[in-house]
A and B are shown apart, each in its own frame.
Chain A
Amino acid sequence: MIPISNYLFLSTALMTIGVLGVLTRRNMVIILMSVELILNAVNINLVAFSHYWGTVHGQTFAIFIIADAAAEVAVGLGLLIALFRNKEVVNADQIELLKW
């Protein structure tokens, strides 16, 4: 029996790696992938607590999060394609239309 704090530490580490990717990478595709890492860290938490309490409510929430991740990726990649068609860039720090 593994204590639940181990799952929390794993999820913390995974989320920290995801935030690292969001904050430091330039390629927007990889930023979106890092967001996926963060969402997976949340899912690990939910499923671990679901296992702890012996109910499936946490797993149900994880399913909703996966659906949201799919929606987020679809819209995010659509934005990326629209941006690439107009400006030919994929790096987040080259998009500075609103910068003054």
Chain B
Amino acid sequence: MALITAENISIGYGSRTIIKDLNFSVDTGDYLCIIGENGVGKTTLMKTMLGLMKPLSGRILLGEGLKNNMIGYLPQRTTVQKDFPASVWEIVLSGFQGRCGARPFYDRKEKLIAKDNIERMEISSLSKRSYMELSGGQQQRVLLARALCAAQEILLLDEPITGLDPRAASEMYGLISKLNKEGMTIIMISHDISESVKYASHVLHIGKNIFFGSKEKYFESDEGKVFLMKNKGGEDR
């Protein structure tokens, strides 16, 4: 059985359905890229996968012993965090909160893993710095390190490169791809299609028509071709 399976799910708010009858599955080690225009419901889909929202119909199945608190999530940055006094260390550690249960403090093992994840994100030198003083790219690395603390098998990333300059963005892609090669399953939302698809193994395209399949098939499909042409046109201009 796959790690995450979506069976005929429809999602939306109240009576408004945004996506209808969607089917897809993610296996261990996959790198799924969810693409589509703004407002088609990519974030809503991700929230549904996380169990933050209920699908209007259909269901999300978690397989291979995956539980909700084993999923790492990188949400879009919020306005509250802009002037939030918190050190990098405090934020990364808070990734363990879901596993703490009623235990009030973090144990030594968790602190070691947190330190390890900070090193993996190459931000050890920043660990005592305050989050709000960091650049956008550095902030994303902090949030990714926190997501890694929560994640054991799978990471869900919501627009991880939004607002980053090109260099920071390509570094971010490099980091995510490295994690994927180390065995982490990745599901990523992006509207920077050309760059993000480069590293992906599977593509879920949401729009008028829905496409789900491997990257190779995507490039052969109608949705893929349309998108590739559009993208090329954009680059030529």
Q: Do A and B bind each other?
A: no
